[in-house]
Amino acid sequence: MNVSLKRESLEAMRTFDLATTPLRDLNSALHTIAPGTNDTNFEVVNPRGSHSVAVGIDQPVTVEVRGSVGYYCAGMNDGGTVTVHGSAGPGVAENMMSGTVVIEGDASQYAGATGRGGLLVIKGNAASRCGISMKGIDIVVRGNIGHMSAFMGQSGHLVVLGNAGDALGDSLYEAKLFVRGEVKSLGADCIQKEMKPKHLRLLAELLDKAGVTDVKPEEFKRYGSARTLYNFNIDNADAY
Amino acid sequence: MSYHNPYTPPRKSATFDDYTLAEIRRAAATGIYDIRGAGTKRKVPHFDDLLFLGASISRYPLEGYREKCDTSVVLGARHAKKPIVLKTPITIAGMSFGALSGNAKEALGRGATIAGTSTTTGDGGMTDEERGHSQTLVYQYLPSRYGMNPKDLRRADAIEIVVGQGAKPGGGGMLLGQKISDRVANMRNLPKGIDQRSACRHPDWTGPDDLEIKILELREITDWEKPIYVKVGGARPYYDTALAVKAGADVVVLDGMQGGTAATQDVFIENVGMPTLACIRPAVQALQDLGMHRKVQLIISGGIRSGADVAKALALGADAVAIGTAALVAIGDNDPHWEEEYQKLGTTAGAYDDWHEGKDPAGITTQDPELAKRLDPVAAGRRLANYLKVMTLEAQTIARACGKNHLHNLEPEDLVALTIEASAMAQVPLAGTSWIPGKGGF
């Protein structure tokens, strides 16, 4: 195992070089944090597209990933703060429970899938199915998002500073969507809704949490469920 | 002499039989397809079409009450640090809290635990009662991810990635609004009373290459402790098994079309997927071709009812079986005790399958607290344990008669088929011949 300790400010940071250290060592270390320890800062170098980097975090640790990652980075994160100084492959922060995940670059498909809590910030673009089946997570994307995003989104918020692709919010439940740019098309049962003062306040909070200061809530449109497909009705069959 | 036509009785069409006619009228009246629970009701080639040969001059039997016939099974030793060890190879299949009442889930856990086997969660997540009453609990990882969280993943004993199920390979699920109580709604992060669709495919992976990466993620999150099962419906058993093994599964669960569901379209249940009997040999062949038979375990489900069915599934190469419908019957589903109430619902004991409506007189497929109270989880658990023990004894009886000191020593050579169809599917000879259709012989 090639783990070096170095001082950054006053806190120790454990560095895992994935070019020479197995992924297992990294995730194992993240899962065996002693209660009350200060040893909670991690750095990952040479991730080189590795899958499952920093998955299953269940403590308030901080992980800085220097480079791009493969599938499921920060999957099921519960309380950690993970920053990827690069781009992320499919399923970043999938099923996040709590905590914060920041992607400095782009994210591939299924970003934040089924997430239940916490904040996912993607500073570049996100591909298709961003926020699919989201269940409480907040997702803020500075760039554009691909098609079928927020598909079957149950709850939580998806904020997009750029444009959204086809079929946004298809079969949406109670997730709330805010898009600043153009929406190529809306999915089944997803409609534009009035932006009320409470929504502007909510959006301002989300932007503030994500550290976005260069746009205003008033520049966004709000989308949500028309709730016409909540109980099956044969006369709605053409909508599916 | 005048000629009179002799009387001929009215003749009904075999194609348009009474049930078909009634179904056409029902569709015309309601404008919606029929939704129901359970598995296929049509007759398909099944274990009934196979017989054991027993011992003879060329092989000797074991003494029924004296000589040991082991029934234990280890599941998941391929990669998991903590494989599952069961006393009997008969497990309880995944059924959700939501589809079933809390008492029913508790009864399944109690019964399985007494019998020394595992039970399985379902869509909707794990309840504390279920975890508490189940010594060995398999946690289903489903497309909907309702109720999914890493804490439950870690407190499970194994993880079952559900790709499909036998009643509806390629289909998702639907829990209708009338069964969505406050607790069910809360566990699934959805408003009360709306229809909850369970997705038909996973939200964050597609295909076998992705599945391999998903399995890696689940192993990393659970520190490589838990066996990882992959469950598929009976569609393409050879390739599905091979791909699951390639993706890194410890255990493959293969569910034929007799396997039940909480609710889906009748047209789906009756017309999609293959009979259990047709699924086993291709799956075993895939394991053998990969050199993984007995290293990756195969669990067969869909229409297992007796120790004979268990023995036949194992003789064809399975390592274990799972029961769902039979377990529900053991705890009280469709019991004639409630006949009067079944009649009020327009059905009869033995035919009740409107499990999605939540009105189950037996208190099993319901979230109505008054109905659910009818099921005593302790007594029902005891009935399930009894049933599991009887099935195990029955399977042992057959295995001993075939001279086998472990259920896993049963083999296809112990079997013959009663029909050409069963012979072709099970790849054992038609009784009295050495002929297996497609395999030569005479």
**CB contacts < 8 Å between A and B, how many?**
103
* pLDDT at res. B33: 87
* CB atoms B213 and A27 under 8 Å: no
- Write down the ipTM of this complex: 0.93
Asked if B149's CB is within 8 angstroms of A52's CB, the reply is: no
Contact A91 B204 (CB under 8 A): yes
Please tell me the predicted confidence (pLDDT) of residue B439. Answer: 86
Predicted confidence (pLDDT) at residue B416 exceeds the cutoff of 90: yes
Residue A176, chain B, CB below 8 Å: the answer is no
Q: Do B189 and A136 touch (CB under 8 A)?
A: yes
Cα distances from B79 to residues A29, B215, B216, B254, in angstroms, run 20, 11, 11, 20
Residue of A nearest to B141 (CA): A95
**Burial degree of B417 (CB within 10 A; 0-12, 13-18, 19+):** buried
Q: Flag whether pLDDT at B426 surpasses 90.
A: yes
CA of B198, closest CA in chain A: separation in Å?
Answer: 10
Q: What is the pLDDT of residues B161-196, one digit of tens each?
A: 999 999 999 988 767 676 777 887 788 778 877 877
The rounded distance, in Å, linking the Cα atoms of A60 and B360 is 46
List, as one string, the DSSP characters of B238-252: HHHHHHHHHHT-SEE
Q: What is the pLDDT of residue B187?
A: 80
pLDDT in tens, B117-157: 999 999 889 999 899 999 999 999 999 999 999 999 999 99
Looking at residue A237, the DSSP 8-state letter turns out to be G
**Spatial distance between the Cα atoms of B193 and B358, rounded to a whole number of angstroms:** 12
Return the beta strands (E) in B227-296 as ranges.
Answer: 228-233, 251-255, 264-265
What pLDDT was estimated at residue B308?
98
Cα(B232)–Cα(B318) distance, integer angstroms: 15
Residue A40 main-chain phi, psi, to 5 deg: -120, 10
The DSSP bridge partners found for residue A17 are A45
Confidence of residue A223 (pLDDT cuts 50, 70, 90): very high
| pLDDT for residue B353 is more than 80 | yes
Domains of chain B: 37-409 (3.20.20.70)
Whether A113 contacts A152, CB under 8 Å: no
**Domain residue ranges in chain A:** 48-230
Give first-to-last CA distance, chain A, whole Å: 53
Q: Is A19 helix (H, G, I), strand (E, B) or coil?
A: coil
Mean pLDDT of B8-27: 96
Q: Cβ contacts (< 8 Å) between A132 and chain B: which residues?
A: 203-204
Beta bridge partners of A139: A120, A158
Only one residue has tokens 């309880």, namely B92
Per-residue pLDDT band for A153 (boundaries 50, 70, 90) equals: very high
Nearest to B407 by CA among B417, B415, B397: B397
Res A7: pLDDT: 44
Mean pLDDT of B373-377: 98
In one-letter notation, the amino acid at residue B227 is: P
For the beta carbon of residue A190, count every other beta carbon within 10 angstroms: 24
Chain B neighbours among A 69-128 (CB < 8 Å)?
70-72, 75-76, 78, 90-91, 94-95, 97, 110, 113-114, 116
Q: How many other C-beta atoms are found inside a 10 Å radius of the C-beta of residue A211?
A: 11
A150-159 per-residue burial string, b: 16 or more CB within 10 A, e: under 16? bbbbbbbbbb
Q: What is the pLDDT of residue A3?
A: 47
Fold exhibited by the domain A48-230: Pectate Lyase C-like (2.160.20)
- pLDDT exceeds cutoff 60 at A1: no
Contacts of A58 in chain B (CB under 8 A): 150-151
Confidence of residue B40 (pLDDT cuts 50, 70, 90): very high
Q: How many whole angstroms separate alpha carbon B143 and alpha carbon A191?
A: 25
pLDDT average, residue stretch A212-239: 87
DSSP state of B334: T
Looking at residue A15, its pLDDT comes to 97
